[in-house]
Amino acid sequence: MFAATATLAIRHARATGTLAALASFLVIALSGRPPDGVLEALVVVLPALEVTLFAFAVAFALDEVPSAASLALRAFALWAAVCFLTIWLLVAATQASIEAYVRLGGPPMLGSTL
């Protein structure tokens, strides 16, 4: 069972990297500064899922070409790093746009009062 799982992870290293990036980002983001409510959690989780879903689909399509184990490790690390960075940037942009919306006079969202 474990051998089959390891073989799948090596064969689909890019797709595994995107899922690892999602998991590591959610652990870091939600444990570092826990959200006060469901809406604040969704501001972090939904953009992360958007990026991961798109990156996973592209990565899974590119993983059709078999590669050696050393190339698989490099592909895993590259896709995980790029996906993590993209998730982080999109979540930061989403939070900044909500803050700008409130500062420009929109009704308070997510319990933020400025």
Residues 21 and 15: their CA atoms lie apart, in Å, by: 10
In a domain, 112, yes or no: no
Q: Which residues in 59-84 are b (16+ Cβ under 10 Å) and which e?
A: beeebeeebeeeebeebbeebbeebb
pTM above 0.85, yes or no: no
In a domain, 24, yes or no: yes
In a domain, 111, yes or no: no
In a domain, 63, yes or no: yes
Query: What does the pLDDT look like over 72-110, one tens digit per residue?
Result: 888 899 999 999 999 999 999 998 998 888 888 877 665
Of the two residues 105 and 46, the one the predictor is more confident about is 46
In a domain, 114, yes or no: no
Give me the helix-helix angle, 69-103 and 13-32, nearest 10°: 40
In a domain, 81, yes or no: yes
**Number of structural domains found in the chain:** 1
In this predicted structure, what is the pLDDT of residue 113?
A: 44
Percent of the chain with pLDDT over 70: 81
In a domain, 109, yes or no: no
In this predicted structure, what is the pLDDT of residue 114?
A: 40
In a domain, 50, yes or no: yes
Range of the domain at 64: 9-103
CB 50 within 8 A of CB 90: yes
